[in-house]
Amino acid sequence: MAQRLHLVFGGELVDPSKTVFRNVDEIHIVGIFPDYQSAHAAWKAEAQRTVDNAHMRYFIAHLHRLRDEEQVASATEELGA
């Protein structure tokens, strides 16, 4: 079975109704987690920590969805070719 990794990250948005970061260099990488439950716990902790700033948002990215294990080469590997 493929490992299901999750990335938790966030930062300040230009507009709270959109998902455009104000400064990409200041994106906070919380970490990579081995399952959704631990990623959700980390996301929730960061979201609660920054609740007073309406422009701060944290996200969970499902890294395992970026790679199709059934293909010989994933689309991301082909970009470097």
Q: Each residue of 38-72: pLDDT tens digit? A: 999 999 999 999 999 999 999 999 988 876 666 55
Query: Which of residues 2 and 20 earns the better pLDDT score?
Result: 20
Q: Is the pLDDT of residue 76 over 60?
A: no
Domain membership flag for residue 48: yes
Boundaries of domain holding 20: 6-26+33-79
Domain membership flag for residue 45: yes
Domain membership flag for residue 20: yes
- Which CATH number goes with the domain that contains 55? 3.30.70.2400
Residue 3 banded pLDDT, cuts 50, 70, 90: confident
Domain membership flag for residue 1: no
Please tell me the predicted confidence (pLDDT) of residue 70: 64
Domain membership flag for residue 52: yes
For residues 48-68, one letter each, b for 16 or more C-beta atoms within 10 angstroms of the residue's C-beta and e for the rest, the string is eebeeeeebbbebeeeeeeee
Domain membership flag for residue 13: yes
Torsion of CA 6, 2, 35, 7, to 10 degrees: -10
Q: Write down the pTM of the prediction.
A: 0.78
How many domains would you assign to the chain?
A: 1
